[in-house]
A and B are shown apart, each in its own frame.
Chain A
Amino acid sequence: MSQHAVRPTPASPTPPGGHLLEVRDLHIEFRTGEGVAKVINGVSYHLDPGETLAVLGESGSGKSVTAQAIMGILDTPPAHISSGQIRYQGRDLLGLSEEQRRQVRGKEIAMIFQDALSALNPVFPVGWQIGETLRQRLGMSRADARRRAVELMDLVQIPGAAKRLGDYPHQFSGGMRQRVMIAMALAMEPKVLIADEPTTALDVTVQAQIMDLLADLRRDLNMAMILITHDLGVVADVADRIAVMYAGRIVEHADVRSLYRAPAHPYTKGLLESIPRLDQRGGKLSTIRGLPPNLMRIPSGCPFHPRCPYAQQVCVDVVPHDLVLGDGRTSACHFAQEVRDDRAR
Chain B
Amino acid sequence: MKTQWKAWLYLLPAVAFLGVFMVYPLVDVLVYSFEEGYNFASQSYSGVGLFNYSYVLHDPYFLQAVKNTFLIVIITVPLSTGLALLISLGLSSIRKLRDLFQTVFFLPYVTNTLAVGLVFMILFKKTAYTDGMVNLLIQFFGGTGVDFIEGPYWAKMFVMCFYTIWVVMPFKILILTSALASVNQVYYNAARIDGTPRWRMFTRITLPMISPMIFYLVITGFIGAFKAYSDEVALFGTNLNAAGMNTIVGYVYDMLYGNSGGYPSFASAAALILFAIVFTITCINLLISRNNVQY
A binds B: no
Binding site for A on B (CB under 8 A): none
A residues sitting closer than 8 Å to B (CB atoms) are none
